[in-house]
Amino acid sequence: MLSWFSELTQRERRTMAACFGGWALDAVDVQIFSFVISALLALWHISSGQAGELATITLLVSAFGGWLGGALADRYGRMRVLQVTILWYAIFTFLCGFAQNYGQLFVFRALQGIGFGGEWAAGAVLMGEVIRDRFRGRAVGLVQTGWAFGWGAAALAYTALFAFVRPELAFRVLFWLGILPALLVIWVRRNVSESDLAPREAAAANGVGHVFSAMRPPHLATTWRLVLMVIGAQGGVYALATWLPTYLKTVRHLTSVGAGSYLLVHILGALCGFLAGSFLADAIGRKRTFLVSALGSIAMVLVYMLAPLGNGAILALGFPLGFVIYMMFPPMGPFMTELFPSAVRGTGQGFCYNAGRGIGALFPALVGWLTLRLGLGGA
């Protein structure tokens, strides 16, 4: 299944390793919040609507971060931006652990979003330009599995900490663990080289107008179609990923350890979905993979949330739910890389993915406010 990996050059492998590590550690920092929501509801007495706002603000600001990061990657190089954004989100995740109230956490979460969005923009373009065409879909898909590994690491850390440490300290320690991605930058600086296209494109990326290049003809139609696609994918995924731990604890009445176990089954499904999506993207094409994933996601979410099932069935369904939902993400990077010319690739990919993510970021907040009227299961 991974025999193609042996055909990659050392440079391609190191680039993959850097992007995999960045994406996995990105997931740790972002997903930590979904695990501390229930603790914040109890300790800080915030509403579910406010919790949704805290989830949304990071994703919303990430739209700006991705757009800016993509433009800077075109101007100053993919590697420089990748390193800066990893440091940025690590520092502000760490600072979240010192927040004393809703307002402070809101500010730190917002600033975290700039690095979160910029890291994907720089890494996706770097992968698209360094990895050869015939391996690109599988390579980007394999890197996308880093999200599942990072999410799983966050789930394990949450389960261990909340089992043995008081909640008022445990949630802070989770945020403090977010400084770990900073260590990756040291390895990246020493082992990963810049894309060959970056120096040539930097000369073409001068001026403020370049930041808006993807929103002008001949790229305008492509840009907005991709934004709509990402809204559909990201909106549902972030709503589910943000509120699923709280749903399992408050609606399904599971303990922290029980909820963590259920989530690990779901995350394992996501990991397999990432791998399947990467191979399907090369085997049947990017668009067909999107369609299969979208139809499967609709069916599985309806069954998981609305069918009168016991906890045993919910545990089992967590795997196929994660599988079909996350299958659609591996083709996104290669699909966008192939639609934009290299001169505007960072700006185009960064804007499309993160503008879609930013609008999709409203979904977790919407679920939070709907919970006040309908309950979390109904929302």
Superfamily of domain 10-195+213-378: MFS general substrate transporter like domains (1.20.1250.20)
Is the peptide bond prior to 218 cis by the omega test (within 30 degrees of 0)? yes
Does residue 3 register a pLDDT over 90?
Answer: no
- The upper half-sphere exposure of residue 303, i.e. CA atoms within 13 Å in the direction of its Cβ, equals 15
Q: What is the pLDDT of residues 172-201, one digit of tens each?
A: 999 999 888 888 877 887 777 777 665 455
Does residue 168 register a pLDDT over 70?
Answer: yes
Does residue 331 register a pLDDT over 50?
Answer: yes
CA torsion sign for 296, 300, 306, 307 is positive
Q: Where are the domains of the chain?
A: 10-195+213-378
Give the mean model confidence (pLDDT) for residues 72-90.
85
CA 183, distance to chain mean position in Å, is 20
- Cα torsion for 100, 359, 114, 323, to the nearest 10°? 90
Three-state secondary structure call for residue 361? coil
In this predicted structure, what is the pLDDT of residue 376? Answer: 67
pTM for this entry: 0.75
Give the mean model confidence (pLDDT) for residues 107-133.
84
Q: State the Cα–Cα distance between residues 171 and 164, nearest whole angstrom.
A: 12
CA 20, distance to chain mean position in Å, is 12
| Contact call for residues 229 and 235 (beta carbons, < 8 A) | no
Alpha carbon distances (Å) from 216 to 211, 220, 224, 279: 10, 5, 11, 33
Q: What is the pLDDT of residues 228-239, one digit of tens each?
A: 888 888 888 888
Q: What is the pLDDT of residues 57-70, one digit of tens each?
A: 988 888 788 778 87
**Could you give the percent of the chain with pLDDT greater than 70?**
91
Q: State the Cα–Cα distance between residues 90 and 341, nearest whole angstrom.
A: 31
Q: What is the pLDDT of residues 257-279, one digit of tens each?
A: 777 788 889 989 998 998 898 88
Q: State the Cα–Cα distance between residues 129 and 321, nearest whole angstrom.
A: 32
Give the mean model confidence (pLDDT) for residues 304-313.
82
Q: State the Cα–Cα distance between residues 88 and 106, nearest whole angstrom.
A: 16
In this predicted structure, what is the pLDDT of residue 93? Answer: 92
